[in-house]
């Protein structure tokens, strides 16, 4: 085994999962988390895409109820989708090594918000580990599994864009414990969360957190770097740690790896050991607020540093209490829909027809930029249909008829089906039109498979769920399939006709992504 490797954080998590005998990885693609499962599959692990994060976590919970070691991967907003199972499996616990790897995106390189997953962990009541580089991404993945098994709890491994996509040198462990024998042991009171048992489980969960907090006071998840003198101390976690090492080489540093439940007494002792103690953390003031609640005398960062990523210069500014305006980043060339992208045609039509477009998350969100500017609202995965129905319900008839929901094929499989159900159930008086831009892949995150492509994560054949069958099954009035390249005028005429009617219509605009075609050719050659 090659011990010294040069790995991204995502690769490090994947290889650690393999080394730790994780028998199943399940998730939904989302930048910056996507490559974890792809890499896990490349290293020989069993990895699969679920239709969405909620289902992914539920599959993982079931596996962990049978003592499996299992990882569930997603981006930060994906955890919102999976929040329902998360908050209750936090009560029930599982006997397995259940780790939920969640990738936050401070600075929003490729996301619609910059929420901090540590808040979810506190609210749900599950421990969080925060690695600061690829080595720790490797080490903490293994430790997260061990922690999960020891305390019968789901553990969140919180990574961020820089951790996921930065490469660092990693040494693999010599020996890692093996996955226990899988079995289902009947344990109704800890598996069935009816109120009577959930009341007990909630108390157990709080006790579990207290027990983990106790071990965290002495655990090697946290480390202290001795400084040149006792002038300055920094409490930090995650990527901020490495920035601090560069920004303040003379400082004492308490780097926290297990950031919930926190080692409060260790933090107090550290803060008391220095003349000035500053908390440096990206995103929300999670560590800082815990210090304040516990009367630990620390300084936080100015509110201006809550936005975006930190880097070495920004950490220097935080330490210097510099709140002068920062240079805005120079605008580079924004991404755009590829030349030859089939989505272009749809957006040209919607722009020319002056539609009110309720949009969704994917490559096709780029239709909001010039020369189209043909999307009027985007909030989260699957929201296009529900929001469009709300608009139809609110606007006077002439404007209601202009409302179109636009969603991609992978997003439709993720949470779009629920919107169709709502449309059929609470039918607007003017009907509604949903356009599904089907490019036969999850393009934005790098061409992943989904339940509508007919292939699994590893490119082997799967059952293919046909969009038109599913919407017809739910009861829409019309479902047409159009190739936008072959019949642009026909597509435009059809959209106009459907908008003028009071019917519930779906138009599947079907043409494969040009990048996916290139990938298909490559995979065909590889498998030949």
Q: Is 366 in the site for another protein (CB under 8 A)?
A: yes
Binding segment toward another protein, per CB under 8 A, in 12-20, 326-334, 450-458, 493-501: 326-334
Select from 123, 169, 173, 500 the one that contacts another protein (CB under 8 A).
169
Select from 171, 246, 399, 487 the one that contacts another protein (CB under 8 A).
246
Residues 54-93 that bind another protein (CB under 8 A): none
Select from 265, 311, 480, 483 the one that contacts another protein (CB under 8 A).
311
In angstroms, the CA 233 to CA 45 distance is 42
CA atoms within 13 A on the CB side of 528: 7
Residues 126-145 that bind another protein (CB under 8 A): 133
Q: Is 497 in the site for another protein (CB under 8 A)?
A: no
Q: Is 312 in the site for another protein (CB under 8 A)?
A: yes
> Cis omega before residue 32 (within 30°)?
yes
In angstroms, the CA 250 to CA 202 distance is 44
Please report, for the chain, how many H helices and E strands are present, in that order.
22, 18
Contact 283, 116 (CB under 8 A): yes
Residues 2-31 that bind another protein (CB under 8 A): 6, 31
Binding segment toward another protein, per CB under 8 A, in 120-128, 139-147, 160-168, 282-290: 160-168
Select from 219, 336, 421, 501 the one that contacts another protein (CB under 8 A).
336
Select from 120, 143, 158, 162 the one that contacts another protein (CB under 8 A).
162
Binding segment toward another protein, per CB under 8 A, in 166-174, 227-235, 282-290, 486-494: 166-174
In angstroms, the CA 278 to CA 297 distance is 9
Select from 44, 331, 370, 396 the one that contacts another protein (CB under 8 A).
331
Cβ closer to another protein: 115 or 240?
240
Binding segment toward another protein, per CB under 8 A, in 331-339, 348-356, 381-389, 434-442: 331-339
Q: Is 167 in the site for another protein (CB under 8 A)?
A: yes
In angstroms, the CA 182 to CA 63 distance is 9
Cβ closer to another protein: 22 or 247?
247
Q: Is 328 in the site for another protein (CB under 8 A)?
A: no
> Cis omega before residue 217 (within 30°)?
no
Q: Is 168 in the site for another protein (CB under 8 A)?
A: yes
In angstroms, the CA 408 to CA 166 distance is 30
Contact 69, 22 (CB under 8 A): yes
Select from 52, 80, 445, 470 the one that contacts another protein (CB under 8 A).
445
Contact 234, 280 (CB under 8 A): yes
Q: Is 481 in the site for another protein (CB under 8 A)?
A: no
Q: Judging by beta carbons within 10 Å of its beta carbon (0-12, 13-18, 19+), is residue 193 exposed, middle or buried? A: middle
In angstroms, the CA 412 to CA 139 distance is 36
Q: Is 32 in the site for another protein (CB under 8 A)?
A: yes
- Beta strand 258-260 with 128-129 is antiparallel
Q: What's the min distance (Å) between Cβ of 36 and another protein?
A: 13
Q: What's the min distance (Å) between Cβ of 328 and another protein?
A: 11
In angstroms, the CA 400 to CA 394 distance is 8
Q: Is 334 in the site for another protein (CB under 8 A)?
A: yes
What contacts 5, CB < 8 A, 6 or more positions away?
15, 169, 170, 171, 172
Cβ closer to another protein: 63 or 513?
513
**If you search the block for the tokens 């864009």, which residue do you land on?**
161
Binding segment toward another protein, per CB under 8 A, in 14-22, 235-243, 431-439, 456-464: 235-243
Cβ closer to another protein: 365 or 405?
365
Binding segment toward another protein, per CB under 8 A, in 13-21, 56-64, 442-450, 484-492: 442-450
In angstroms, the CA 30 to CA 20 distance is 24
Select from 152, 313, 421, 501 the one that contacts another protein (CB under 8 A).
313
Strand, coil or helix: what is 38? helix
Backbone angles phi, psi at 205, to 5 degrees: -60, -45
Size of the site for another protein (CB under 8 A): 37
H or E segment and range at residue 504: strand 504-510
Cβ closer to another protein: 195 or 370?
370
What is the DSSP secondary-structure string of 372-426?
T----B--STTHHHHHHHHHHHHS-HHHHTTEEEEEEHHHIIIIIHHHHHHHHHT
Q: Is 425 in the site for another protein (CB under 8 A)?
A: no
Q: What's the min distance (Å) between Cβ of 121 and another protein?
A: 25
Contacts to another protein by CB under 8 A: 6, 31-32, 109-110, 133, 161-162, 165-169, 239, 242-243, 245-246, 311-313, 327, 330-338, 363, 366, 444-446, 515
């Amino acid at each position: 085994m090659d011990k010294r490797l040069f790995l991204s954080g995502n690769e490090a998590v994947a290889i650690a999962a393999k080394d730790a005998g994780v028998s199943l990885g399940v998730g939904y693609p989302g930048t910056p988390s996507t490559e974890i499962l792809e890499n896990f599959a490349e290293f020989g692990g069993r990895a699969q895409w679920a239709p969405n994060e909620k289902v992914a976590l539920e599959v993982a919970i079931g596996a962990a109820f049978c003592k499996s070691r299992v990882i569930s991967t997603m981006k930060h907003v994906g955890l919102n989708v999976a929040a329902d199972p998360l908050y209750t499996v936090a009560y029930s616990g599982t006997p397995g090594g259940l780790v939920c790897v969640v990738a936050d995106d401070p600075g929003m390189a490729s996301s619609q918000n910059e929420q901090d997953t540590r808040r979810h962990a506190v609210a749900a009541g599950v421990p969080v580990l925060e690695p600061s580089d690829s080595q720790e991404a490797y080490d903490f993945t293994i430790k997260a599994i061990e922690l999960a098994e020891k305390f019968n709890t789901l553990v969140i491994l919180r990574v961020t864009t820089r951790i996921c996509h930065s490469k660092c040198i990693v040494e693999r462990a010599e020996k890692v414990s093996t996955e226990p024998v899988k079995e289902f042991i009947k344990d109704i009171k800890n598996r069935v969360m009816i109120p009577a048992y959930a009341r007990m489980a909630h108390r157990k969960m709080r006790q579990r957190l207290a027990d983990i907090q106790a071990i965290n006071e002495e655990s090697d998840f946290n480390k202290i770097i001795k400084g040149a003198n006792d002038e300055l101390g920094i409490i930090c976690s995650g990527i901020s740690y490495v920035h601090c090492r560069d920004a303040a080489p003379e400082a004492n540093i308490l780097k926290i790896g297990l950031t919930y439940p926190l080692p409060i007494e260790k933090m107090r002792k550290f803060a008391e050991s220095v003349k000035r103690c500053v908390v440096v953390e990206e995103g929300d003031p999670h560590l800082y607020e815990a210090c304040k609640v516990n009367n630990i005398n620390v300084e936080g960062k100015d509110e201006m540093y809550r936005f975006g990523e930190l880097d070495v210069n920004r950490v220097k500014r935080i330490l210097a209490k510099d709140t002068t305006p920062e240079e805005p980043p120079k605008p580079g060339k924004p991404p755009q829909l590829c030349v030859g992208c089939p989505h272009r045609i749809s957006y040209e039509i919607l722009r020319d027809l002056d539609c009110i477009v309720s949009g969704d998350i994917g490559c096709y969100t780029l239709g909001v930029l010039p020369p189209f500017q043909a999307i009027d609202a985007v909030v989260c995965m699957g929201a296009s249909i529900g929001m469009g129905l709300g608009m139809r319900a609110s606007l006077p008839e002439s404007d209601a008829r202009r409302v179109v929901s636009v969603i991609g094929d992978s997003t439709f499989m993720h949470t779009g089906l629920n919107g169709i159900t709502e449309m059929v159930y609470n039918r607007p008086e003017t009907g509604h039109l949903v356009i599904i831009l089907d490019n036969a892949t999850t393009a934005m995150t790098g061409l992943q498979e989904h339940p509508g492509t007919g292939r699994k994560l590893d490119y082997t054949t799967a059952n293919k769920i046909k969009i038109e069958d599913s919407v017809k099954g739910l009861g829409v009035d019309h479902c047409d399939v159009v190739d936008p390249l072959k019949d642009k005028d026909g597509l435009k005429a059809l959209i106009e006709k459907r908008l003028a009617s009071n019917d519930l219509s779906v138009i599947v605009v079907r043409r494969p992504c040009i990048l996916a075609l290139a990938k298909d050719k490559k995979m065909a050659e590889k498998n030949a």
